[in-house]
Amino acid sequence: MAPSATVEPKPRQGPVRSALERLIAAREIEPDPLQRHLADRLDALDRRLSAEIGASKKSALGWLFGKKREADPVKGLYVYGDVGRGKSMLMDMFFRQTAVAAKRRVHFHAFMAEVHERIGEHRRAHKNGEVRGDDPIPPVAAAIAAQSRLLCFDEFTVTDIADAMILSRLFKALFANGLVLVATSNVAPDALYPDGLNRQLFLPFVEVLKKHAETFELAGAEDYRLAFLGEEDVYLDSRDPSAAERIDAAWERLLGGGRETTASLSVKGRTIPVPRAGNGAARFAFEDLLKRPLGAQDYLALARRFHTLVVEDVPVMGEAERNEAKRFITLVDTFYDAGRRLVVSAEAPANALYQGRSGTEAFEFDRTASRLFEMRSSEYLERANGEQTREG
């Protein structure tokens, strides 16, 4: 009798890969070899962090005091690729499953706003003679690293020169203090802060980042979440009793199993809060977005960050709401020109949303209504999806 063939046991799946396979088995997402590869990479990172903690954690801060003796420090992971590829979903799985207790998940812009606040506090304390040293970066970095061994950034992007100018020194100090970074972004490290003012001063940060975090491109031609949005999903009558339920369902499809969070944008030194965000989509009530004194640069920043914008409860506007109507016109123009998606719930058809008869808004709103109608078409949705895929 011929000897039976030896069957090699399959390698044990880590928690991130297992969570991903459960979603695939439940048919909530399609199987994707690159997503599986990324899940395995995240599990490998978690195993290394866990092993390090197990070897050095003799006290609550053992990882902090022992890390400088480590000859081979743990490298983080910088994941970039097309919108809708599952970057945030997989990072959230990793964050939930990791054994690291000293961890933090935060949107990049919220983190940088906090850093600037800490720097300001240190400078005030130094001026008052309360602390030594006029350089705020080392103590700020040490304080952040003392609180978090693992830092997870969603949607890493650099648009603010104030951020760009301190990132190199800040993260060099953070990494020296043992911090491990996991981040998602739409662009590769070398494409961060494109055409930014004084970009040459920002470039050392790119080298610091690549030295301390491996890069992983989650490439792909299809945006799985957006494929589920049809023409009937992108302009809803808010007076319809089912409208709220339908827009919630569209939002869940956009999240694609990922976690909803808050976000913020920094535009010319101003911070724009995004109350609901996830997986490259943002959601606003009309009052939160169109009653604020925002302009074209703000909407352009939104279009650059998010592939889909959901705006709820757009009212019929008259001459008393000319400012809101003008902002809405600008918002639609910006997203149309950028090839982005708008999901709108409104209390009237697009051609009846503005009732004013004087001023330029009445004339301009005809174009807005036409564009909103075109943005509902399958041709526009398919074209927009193609643009987003090329942009990454």
Q: What is the pLDDT of residues 344-376, one digit of tens each?
A: 999 999 999 999 887 788 888 988 998 898 888
Average pLDDT score over residue span 122-131: 87
User: Of 218, 234, 254, which marks where a domain is finished?
Assistant: 218
Based on the domain organization, do 193 and 98 belong to the same domain?
yes
Establish if 169 belongs to a structural domain: yes
Establish if 7 belongs to a structural domain: no
pLDDT class of 156 with cuts at 50, 70, 90:
confident
pLDDT class of 120 with cuts at 50, 70, 90:
very high
Domain count, the chain: 2
Pairing of strands 270-278, 281-285: antiparallel
User: What is residue 225's predicted lDDT score, i.e. its pLDDT?
Assistant: 43
Q: Return contacts of 106-109, CB within 8 angstroms, 24+ apart.
A: 106/151, 106/152, 106/153, 106/154, 107/153, 107/154, 107/155, 107/261, 107/262, 107/263, 107/264, 107/277, 108/153, 108/154, 108/155, 108/156, 108/157, 108/183, 109/263, 109/264, 109/265, 109/266, 109/271
pLDDT class of 23 with cuts at 50, 70, 90:
confident
pLDDT class of 223 with cuts at 50, 70, 90:
very low
CATH of the domain at 299: 3.40.50
Establish if 5 belongs to a structural domain: no
Establish if 355 belongs to a structural domain: yes
What domain range includes position 386? 226-391
Establish if 192 belongs to a structural domain: yes
pLDDT surpasses 70 at 190: yes
User: Of 175, 194, 218, which marks where a domain is finished?
Assistant: 218
Based on the domain organization, do 204 and 290 belong to the same domain?
no
pLDDT class of 54 with cuts at 50, 70, 90:
low
User: What is residue 35's predicted lDDT score, i.e. its pLDDT?
Assistant: 92
Based on the domain organization, do 207 and 80 belong to the same domain?
yes
Establish if 58 belongs to a structural domain: yes
Based on the domain organization, do 236 and 376 belong to the same domain?
yes
User: What is residue 311's predicted lDDT score, i.e. its pLDDT?
Assistant: 97
Q: What is the pLDDT of residues 290-338, one digit of tens each?
A: 999 999 889 988 988 898 999 999 999 999 999 999 999 999 999 988 8
User: Of 218, 236, 255, which marks where a domain is finished?
Assistant: 218
The pTM (predicted TM-score) of the whole model is: 0.59
